Chains A and B, each alone.
Chain A
Amino acid sequence: MPDPRDDQLAGELRDLGQWLVTPAPPDLRTAVRERLSAGSPRRTSRRWLAAAAAVLLALVIAVVPQTRTAVAHAATALLRFAGIELESAPRSGSLPATPSPLPSTQFATLDEARRQARFSIGVPARLGPPESIQLADHDATGAPRVVSLLYRGGTVRLDEFDGELEPYFAKKIDTAGVVWADVHGHPAVWIPTPHPITYIDRHGVRHDEAARLAGATLIWQGAITYRLEGQLTADDALAIARSTG
Chain B
Amino acid sequence: MARACAGDLDAYEDLVARYTAAAHRAAVLLGAGDDADDVVQEAFVKAYRKLRWCRADTAFRPWLLAIVANETRNLHRSRRRRDALVLRAASRADPSVSGPDDPAAAALAAERRAALVAAVGALDERDRDVLVCRFLLDLSEAETAVALGWPRGTVKSRTARALHRLRARLDADLTKGVGRA
Contacts and interface: CB of A to CB of B under 8 A. Distances in A.
A37 B131 CA distance: 37
Contact of B37 (A15, A26, A35, A178): A26
A20 B92 CA distance: 11
A178 B6 CA distance: 11
Nearest to A37: B9
B53 A13 contact: no
Nearest to A79: B53
Contacts of B25: 22, 25
A183 B31 CA distance: 33
Contact of A29 (B13, B87, B131): B13
Interface of B: 5-9, 12-13, 16-17, 20-21, 23-25, 28-29, 36-37, 40-42, 44-45, 48-49, 52-55, 85-88, 93-94, 97-98, 112-113, 116-117, 120, 131, 134-138, 160, 163-164, 166-167, 170
A27 B20 contact: yes
23 contacts: A3-B167, A6-B164, A10-B134, A10-B163, A14-B136, A16-B117, A20-B85, A20-B88, A22-B29, A23-B28, A25-B24, A25-B25, A26-B40, A29-B13, A31-B41, A36-B45, A42-B45, A74-B7, A75-B8, A79-B49, A88-B52, A175-B5, A178-B53
Contact of A19 (B17, B87, B134, B170): B87
A13 B23 CA distance: 19
A13 B7 contact: no
Interface of A: 2-3, 5-6, 9-10, 12-23, 25-29, 31-33, 35-37, 41-42, 73-77, 79, 88, 175-176, 178-180, 189
B113 A32 contact: no
Nearest to A27: B20
A53 to B, nearest CB: 19
A217 B55 CA distance: 17
Contact of A75 (B7, B55, B164): B7
Contacts of B7: 74-77, 88, 175
Given A16-B136, A20-B87, A20-B88, A42 B20 contact: no
Given A17-B29, A25-B40, A26-B40, 5 more contacts: A9-B163, A14-B135, A16-B135, A21-B86, A180-B54
A13 B135 contact: yes
A42 B42 contact: yes
Contact of B12 (A2, A12, A22, A36): A36
A31 B44 CA distance: 10
B71 to A, nearest CB: 10
A79 B48 CA distance: 11
A79 B117 CA distance: 41
A120 B166 CA distance: 48
The 10 closest A-B pairs by CB, nearest first: A75-B7, A13-B135, A25-B24, A21-B86, A6-B163, A17-B136, A25-B21, A175-B52, A32-B44, A26-B37
A42 B136 CA distance: 31
Contacts of B53: 79, 175, 178-180, 189
A22 B52 contact: no
B6 A6 contact: no
Contacts of B94: 18
B90 to A, nearest CB: 9
Contact of B87 (A21, A77, A179): A21
B163 A26 contact: no
A74 B23 CA distance: 29
A189 B54 CA distance: 10
Contact of A32 (B16, B21, B36, B167): B16
Given A26-B37, A36-B9, A37-B9, A77 B49 contact: yes
